[in-house]
Structure 1
Amino acid sequence: MKDTKKSRRKVKLMTAVSVLLLGAILFFFLQIKEIKVTGNKKYTAEQIESFLFQDSWSRNAAVCFYRDRFKEHEQIPFVEDYKIVFTSPFKVEVIVYEKSVVGYVSYMGSYLYFDKDGIVVESFSARLEGIPWITGLKFGHIALHQPLPVENGRVFDEILTLTQMLTTHEITVDEVHYDTHGNASLTMGQVRVFLGSNSQMNGKISELKDQLPVLEGLSGTLYLDTYNEAETVTSYRFVKDS
């Protein structure tokens, strides 16, 4: 009888040790082999991977799951948040939720990026491709996560409208400038485009899209401020640099 009890205890002990050993093996050797990144525009998949999976320890499935569910997420510039979804013990999908950014201003040696409401969402030491530099705005002290202190808050609606149209027409610009009267100008390499007021902006940008092949390799200013969609005859001009 005693031998039977001892045998049972031994079996239970061996079972417990085996479970612990198996758990330890899975914990230390269950590594994420494949990472898929979605929702990313400002960063490549490789960059997102380097932010979140810097070493073999962070690629451990158990550690990754624990950190994602119970720890604060990594702070990544221009990323609001992210979610890690396990599609298998060895594969994950990182879903990235980027901050909405429509432009940036230069301030005291840094580049401050703002959203459609004029809220400064990020301060960065470098310019990010695909986001226009907005110049000509008058503002005072700037603080992160606060609205840009401009005199005319309606200018952000105009910036949003303009940048959305540029994106829709796949037009990349280096700079968007607003003068004291609220007139907008674009800089695209050696070509400047004077758009004027926000009136009929959709037609102006459509016309600019049509003129891009003609403007390639030129240096000068295209005046679209006189554009009138009601007229059938072209009512704008291009002035070459002397």
Structure 2
Amino acid sequence: MKNSIQNEEEKAQKNRTLKKICMIVLIVFALYVAYTGFFRLEVITTKGCSFYTEDEVLEYFKQTAADSNTLLFYIKYKYLKKPTIPFVDEYDIEIKGRNKILINIYEKSMISCIKYMEEYFYLDKDGTVIESSSEKVADLPLITGVKFNAINLQEKLSVEKEEIFSVILEISKLINQYELDVDKVNFNYNMEVTLYSHDIRVILGKRDHYDTQLAELSKLLPKAQEKKLKGELDMENFEEGQDKIIFHED
């Protein structure tokens, strides 16, 4: 019985040793092939990134001479080193040919931002502060007129008036849903809402829900911007089915 167990252990040890030898041989072979120039990295492309240009993304990757090789680049950034890129949740590396790499970028899902002490803080759909920067780099609506208790990364935004939190999230989500070109969302002292889109102000007022207004605005705003209108669109009392909306031209 003891001999049988001993034989099994010896066999397992031999298998582990053989695997290590094979791994070393493969690594040596890969390094040899890598440095012969066969896998010279010539093209790196990115996909899925709107916050940065391709050159800006690549600044986080190509740092050493070894990064000019397709295989070594793939192994390094796929398994060994993961650069932290602001506004990027994660990324994946693909070999698209012996001389080409594709970097798939998966950006953080943000719906709006706020400014505090010269810093911009970005919110996700749950109202969690997930990123910050000294410049407004994302094409997202800026929330203004709101007083905060605390702003901490990876925590939900803490506002002075708790009821305003759900309004911020609802309007931000609707702007994102309808792909509205909105620069700023402002709240006054009475929690009445005004949207700013270039030279157009949209008065929404204060109500329980804003989906009806923003659904209609998604039809009106592109037309107004196409005509390069400047002024105020009054939708405070707008109701579904209403065929006339007042516009005060500046």
- Which TM class, normalised by the smaller chain length? 0.7 to 0.9
Residues 13-48 of structure 1: per-residue CA shift (max 9 Å, x gap): xxxxxx969944623633222223222222233332
Question: Which residue pairs with 1:37 in the alignment?
Answer: 46
Q: Distance in 2 between matches of 1:156 and 1:33?
A: 49
Query: For 1:65, what is the secondary structure of its paired residue?
Result: helix
Aligned to 1:81: 90
SS in 1 for 2:67: coil
The worse-fitting range, judged by mean Cα deviation, of 101-110 and 43-52 is: 43-52
- Counterparts of residues 1-242 of structure 1 (less than 5 Å): 23-24=31-32, 26-27=34-35, 29=37, 30-54=39-63, 56-152=65-161, 155-197=164-206, 199=208, 201-212=210-221, 213-214=223-224, 216-229=227-240, 231-234=241-244, 236-241=245-250
Counterpart-to-counterpart distance in 2, 1:116 and 1:44: 25
Distance 1:144 1:189 in 2: 30
> Compared with structure 1, are the counterparts of its residues 73 and 23 closer, same or farther at alpha carbon in structure 2 (3 Å cutoff)?
closer
Residue 66 of structure 1 aligns with an amino acid whose one-letter code is I
Corresponding letter in the other structure for 1:223: D
Per mean C-alpha deviation after superposition, the further-off stretch among 174-183 and 90-99 is 174-183
8 Å CA contact 1:158, 1:198 repeated in 2: no
- Which 4+ runs in 1 deviate beyond 6 A? 19-22
The CA RMSD over aligned residues, in Å, is 2.7
Change (3 A) 1:221 1:22: closer
Asked if the contact 1:113–1:121 (Cα under 8 Å) also holds between the matched residues in 2, the reply is yes
Counterpart AA for 2:96 = T
Say whether the 8 Å CA contact 1:112–1:122 is kept in structure 2. yes
Percent of aligned positions with the same letter in both sequences? 28
Name whichever of 118-127 and 143-152 sits farther off: 143-152
Structure 1: gaps spanning 5 or more residues: 1-18
Higher mean alpha-carbon deviation, 48-57 vs 99-108, is at: 48-57
Count residues in correspondence. 221
- Checking the alignment, whether the CA contact within 8 Å between 2:181 and 2:197 is kept in structure 1 is yes
Q: TM-score, normalised by structure 1?
A: 0.77
The unaligned stretches of length 5 or more in structure 2 are 1-26
- Quick one: which amino acid aligns to residue 222 of structure 1? L
Task: Please give the alpha-carbon distance, in whole angstroms, between the structure 2 residues aligned to 1:214 and 1:34.
Answer: 43
**Do the aligned partners of residues 115 and 154 (structure 1) sit closer, same or farther apart at CA in structure 2, a change above 3 Å counting?**
farther
2:53 and 2:169 map into 1 onto residues whose CA distance is 25
- Is the Cα–Cα contact under 8 Å of residues 116 and 157 in structure 1 kept in the other structure? no
Alpha carbons of 1:64 and 1:157: their partners in 2 closer, same or farther (altered >3 Å)? Answer: farther
Q: How far did 1:151 drift?
A: 3.5
Supply the distance in 1 between the matched residues of 2:30 and 2:83 (Cα, whole angstroms): 30
Aligned amino acid, residue 133 of structure 1: L
Q: For 2:109 and 2:150, locate their aligned partners in 1 and report how far apart those are by CA, in whole Å.
A: 22
Relative distance call for 1:95 and 1:198 in structure 2 (3 A) is: farther
Deviation at 1:150, TM superposition (A): 1.3
